[in-house]
């Protein structure tokens, strides 16, 4: 897919780095403007393409959360090779879950989680997904509606590079990942910034407070974005979010 490529932008400090992880069915394009914002302020950024993304939806069917995690690990390794100082993890939606998972196995300076799901209030998911684990059902009902267009800003929606449908098996895998992450949250001890779009129709905004309450750190900041839906980095409140992320990183550097 044109525009779905991973990217690395060098900051002028050569020390601080931030890994940027995109959402399910999307691409690093949704993190590009944030990456440019941070790099212009001296922070080196790396945005890998998660396994199964950036080509065609059928490729995502065979790639589960363990594959996405491996892509994130490889991106983190590449970033460490370029930075000899503090490393931060920033992820949106499933990227936020992957960031929280990585924090349990890697030495990092802080996490920024945007729109991550610890619970979902969706009758279809509650009733259907347990059945979707069976091959017969998933072969009949292979795709659901797109989720990467949940953006209020028309310009943001137009600029997205993502799939036009969501493999049901990928949603099953996302649910498995969120259960893994939720069990790990007490071990998360690093500073955390949790952001969420107040108008999110994919992941209930209450996830922000749930995540803040269940982690093992008391160094938690929250940001509710009043004009944004699920993908805040492409929505109306993105500039406030970008500034808040930069301030969060600078605060941790000073400590």
Q: Cα torsion for 159, 165, 167, 173, to the nearest 10°?
A: 40
pLDDT of residue 132: 54
Whole-angstrom Cα Rg for the chain:
17
Torsion, Cα 94 98 101 106, to 10 degrees, reads -160
Give the model's pLDDT for residue 104. 86
Give all domains of the chain, ordered by start, each with its CATH number: 7-254 (3.40.50.1820)
- DSSP line for 127-196: HHHHHHTSHHHHHHS-EE---TT--S-HHHHHH----SSEEHHHHHHHHHHHHHHHHHGGG--S-EEEEE
Tell me phi and psi for residue 168, to 5 degrees. -60, -40
- Give me the average pLDDT of each 10-residue run along the chain (255 residues): 94 89 97 98 97 94 96 96 92 98 92 95 58 53 67 95 89 91 94 97 95 94 98 98 97 81
CB half-sphere exposure, 17, CA atoms < 13 A = 23
What angle do helix axes 94-103 and 168-184 make, rounded to 10 degrees? 40
- Number of residues that this document lists for the chain: 255
């Amino acid at each position: 897919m044109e525009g779905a490529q991973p990217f690395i932008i060098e900051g002028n400090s050569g020390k601080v780095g931030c890994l940027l992880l995109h959402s399910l069915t999307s691409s690093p394009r949704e993190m590009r403007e944030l990456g440019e914002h941070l790099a212009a302020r001296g922070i080196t950024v790396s945005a890998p393409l998660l396994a199964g993304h950036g080509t065609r939806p059928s490729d995502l069917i065979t790639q589960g959360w363990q594959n996405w995690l491996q892509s994130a690990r490889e991106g983190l390794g590449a970033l460490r090779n370029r930075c000899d100082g503090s490393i931060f993890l920033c992820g949106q939606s499933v990227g936020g879950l992957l960031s929280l998972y990585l924090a349990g196995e890697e030495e990092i300076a802080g996490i920024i989680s945007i729109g991550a799901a610890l619970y979902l209030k969706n009758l279809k998911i509650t009733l259907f997904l347990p059945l979707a684990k069976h091959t017969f059902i998933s072969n009949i009902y292979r795709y659901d509606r797109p989720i990467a267009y949940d953006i209020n800003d028309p310009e943001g929606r137009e600029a997205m590079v993502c799939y036009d449908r969501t493999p049901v098996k990928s949603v099953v895998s996302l649910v498995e990942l969120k259960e893994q992450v939720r069990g790990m949250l007490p071990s998360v001890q690093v500073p955390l910034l949790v952001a969420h779009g107040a108008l999110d129709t994919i992941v209930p905004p209450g996830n922000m407070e749930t995540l803040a309450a269940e982690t093992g750190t008391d160094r938690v900041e929250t940001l509710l974005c009043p004009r944004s839906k699920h993908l805040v980095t492409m929505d109306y409140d993105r500039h406030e979010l970008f500034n808040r992320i930069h301030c969060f990183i600078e605060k941790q550097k000073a400590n």
